[in-house]
Amino acid sequence: MKTVKFGGSSLASAEQVRKVCDIITADTARRLVVVSAPGKRTNSDTKVTDLLIAAAEAGLTHRDGSRELQRVVERFADIATGLGMAAESVDPIRADLQQRLDADISDKGLYMDSMKAAGEANSARLVADYLRSQGVDAHCIDPAVAGMILSDEPGNARVLRQAYGRLRSLRERPGISIFPGFFGYSESGRLVTFPRGGSDITGAILAAAVDAELYENFTDVDSVFVANPKLINNPRAVAEITYREMRELSYAGFSVFHDEALEPVFHAGIPVAVKNTNNPAAPGTRIVLERRVGDVPVVGIAGTGGFCSIYVSRYLMNREVGFGRRLLQLFEDEAIPFEHTPSGIDNISVIVREDIFDHATEQRVLRRIRTELLADEVSVQRGLALVMVVGEGMRHTVGLAARATAAFARARVNLEMINQGSSEVSMMFGVKDHEVDAAVIALYAEFFG
C-alpha cells in the first residue's frame, strides 16, 4: 500500500485534477490519497487557502467576507464544470463554506482554522466525487472519524501519539480513500490545522500509521534540486537523499517539502518519493534512511535569512558551571526557542529567529544577561542568514570547509560565523542577509560548477 499526497498546484484546475486521478488509478497500490486545497494556476493567482484566510479575517473583524468566499466557490465550480460534473455538485461545497463563514466567532482560533480547513475538506470531497463518477471505488474520509488527533494548538498543531493506532484501520478500508490534508481534531473534538503547507505532514502521518511501502509526494517539479533553481540556472537534480540531509536542507530554505513532514516517515523508516504531477514518468527524488555516497560529498546547498545572534562573553566562562544553562533558561523564560549556540572558550552566541525577537524582548533579555549572568559583553547582530552545505559524504571528506571558505573569499562574501554541526552531515555559515544569494551561488560553483 502506498500513501500519495498531491500539493495545491496539482489540484488547481480541472486539467490538473484529471492528471491526479490518472496517477491514482495507474497503480493499484495507491490506496490512500491526501489532497491539498486548490493552489495557484499561474504565478499571479491566489491559493484557495489564502482566499479563505482573507474571508476569515473579514468575518473576525465584522466585515463582509462574502466576496472572498464567492471566489472560493468559483474556484471549485470551475474545477467541477471542467471535469464535466453536474452544476449541483458544487451546492454542498457552497453550503459548507457559507456555514463556516457564518459560524460563531467567539473562539477566534477555531473560527480561523475551520475556514482554512475548508479548502482541503472540499477538495477531497470533489476528487472523491469525480473518481466515483468515473466508476472508481473512492471515498472521502472525515479526519475526525478516522482519528487524526492533534494537539490543541490552532494553526500550529502537532500529531498526538494515539492518532497512529486509530489511523491504522485505514489500511483495511476497501477502495481508494481520499483524505483531506492540513487539519485534524483535538481530543476534545476541536478542529485544528497544521502550520501552512501542512498537507505534507498529513501524508507523512498516514504513511507511518498504515505502514505504507512508500510515501509519494506529488508536486510540480521533476525532482529536488541541489540548489534553488531561482538562483542557479538549471541546477543538478538530486536522485537520492537521506532524511537527515533533507531535514537540514528544508531547515535552510528548501521549499519542496514541509520540514516537519519528514519526522513520522523517518521514524517509521518509510521511503519517500518526490514526484511531478505534470511528468509522472520522471524518476523524481527518493528520500531514504541511508544512501551510498558517490564521488560528490555534497548533496545540496541552501540559505535562508531572518536570524539574529545574541553574543555573550564572560572571562573564564569555560570554568563556570551552569553558565550555559542559566543563559538558555533566560530564553526559555521568554518562550524563545533557540536555533544554534556556537561557542568559544569565553563566549557563546545564541542564534534565534528574528521575527520572535522583537525590540522589547531584546531589551529585556539583554538586561537580564547583563545583570543576572554578569556578562562582560552582550551584543545583538540582526539581519543574519544561514547557509548550509549538506551531504552524508562530508564526514569522510577532508578539506570541504577550506573549499567553502575559499569560495566565499572569491565571491567577497564576509563570513560572520561557522558552525560545523555535530550531526556531521552539514556545515553552517552565517552571512549577512543581503549576501545569502551570492553565498549559495559561490558554493554551487565550487561543488557542482
DSSP letter at 398 equals T
- The distance of closest approach from Cβ of residue 219 to ligand ASP in the complex, given in angstroms and rounded to an integer, is 10
The rounded distance, in Å, linking the Cα atoms of 91 and 71 is 14
SS3 335: coil
Dihedral sign (CA 51, 55, 60, 61): positive
Nearest residue (CB) to ligand ASP, 248 versus 260: 260
Q: Which of residues 35-74 bind ligand ASP (CB under 6 A)?
A: 36-37, 47, 49
Nearer to ligand ASP, 19 or 116 (CB): 116
Shortest distance in whole angstroms from residue 123 CB to ligand ASP: 9
Rounded to whole angstroms, the Cα distance separating 129 from 92 reads 12
Query: 46 vs 405, which CB is nearer to ligand ASP?
Result: 46
Identity of the residue, 143 or 235, whose beta carbon is nearer to ligand ASP in the bound complex: 143
With respect to ligand ASP, which residue has the nearer C-beta, 159 or 317? 159
Using CB atoms, what's the residue nearest to ligand ASP?
199
- Amino acid at site 347: N
Q: Smallest Cα–Cα separation from 131: which of 30, 279, 202?
A: 30
Region near ligand ASP per CB under 6 A, out of 171-179, 192-200, 220-228, 229-237: 192-200
Binding mask 160-189 for ligand ASP (x = CB under 6 A): ---------------------xx-------
Work out how close the CB of 11 gets to ligand ASP at its nearest, in angstroms, rounded to a whole number: 9
Instruction: Pick one of 197, 284, 297, 430: the residue that binds ligand ASP (CB under 6 A).
Output: 197
Q: How far is the CB of 198 from ligand ASP (least distance, A)?
A: 5
* Backbone φ and ψ of 86, nearest 5°: -65, 150
Instruction: Give the other-Cβ count within 10 Å of 263's Cβ.
Output: 17
Q: Which is nearer to ligand ASP, 7 or 303 (CB)?
A: 7
Binding to ligand ASP (CB under 6 A): which residues in 270-299? none
Question: Are the C-beta atoms of residues 441 and 231 closer than 8 Å to each other?
Answer: yes
User: Contacts with ligand ASP in 139-158 (CB under 6 A)?
Assistant: none
Answer for the pair 175, 215: CB distance below 8 angstroms, yes or no.
Answer: no
Neighbours of 428 (CB within 10 A): 22
Return the range that interacts with ligand ASP (CB under 6 A); candidates 101-109, 193-201, 240-248, 300-308: 193-201
Q: Please, which residue, 112 or 442, has the CB nearer to ligand ASP?
A: 112
**Other CB atoms within 10 A of residue 371 CB:** 9
Task: Please state the closest distance from residue 204 (CB atom) to ligand ASP, in A.
Answer: 12
Euclidean distance between CA atoms 373 and 188, whole angstroms: 43
- Asked whether the beta carbons of 119 and 125 are under 8 A apart, the reply is no
> Of the candidates 40, 166, 190, 196, which one interacts with ligand ASP according to CB under 6 A?
196
Environment class of 64 (CB within 10 Å of its CB; exposed 0-12, middle 13-18, buried 19+): exposed
DSSP string of 61-96, one letter each residue: TT---HHHHHHHHHHHHHHHHHTT--GGGGHHHHHH
Q: What is the DSSP letter of 343?
A: B
| Rg of the chain in Å (alpha carbons) | 24
Would you tell me the crossing angle of helices 323-333 and 359-372 to the nearest 10 degrees? 150
203/391 with CB nearer ligand ASP: 203
**Which residues, 6 or more positions from 153, have their beta carbon under 8 angstroms from its beta carbon?**
192
Which cell goes with 130? 469525480
What CA–CA distance (Å, rounded) separates 17 from 85?
12
Q: Is position 100 an interface residue for ligand ASP (rule: CB under 6 A)?
A: no
Shortest Cβ distance from residue 422 to ligand ASP (Å)? Answer: 32
Comparing CB distances to ligand ASP, the nearer of 200 and 245 is: 200
List 20, 90, 97, 119, residue binding ligand ASP (CB under 6 A): 119
Q: Which stretch binds ligand ASP (CB under 6 A): 86-94, 190-198, 211-219, 314-322?
A: 190-198
Name residue, grid cell 464535466. Answer: 84
Compute the least distance from the CB of residue 20 to ligand ASP, in Å. 14
Among the residue ranges 129-137, 195-203, 374-382, 391-399, the one whose residues contact ligand ASP (CB under 6 A): 195-203
Q: CB nearer to ligand ASP: give 181 or 300.
A: 181
Instruction: Give the binding-site size for ligand ASP (rule: CB under 6 A).
Output: 13
Q: Give the shortest CB-120-to-ligand ASP separation in angstroms.
A: 6
Query: Rounded to the nearest whole angstrom, what is the least distance from the CB of residue 363 to ligand ASP in the complex?
Result: 34
Query: Across the strands, what pairs with 241?
Result: 287
Residues that bind ligand ASP (CB under 6 A): 8, 36-37, 47, 49, 119, 181-182, 196-200
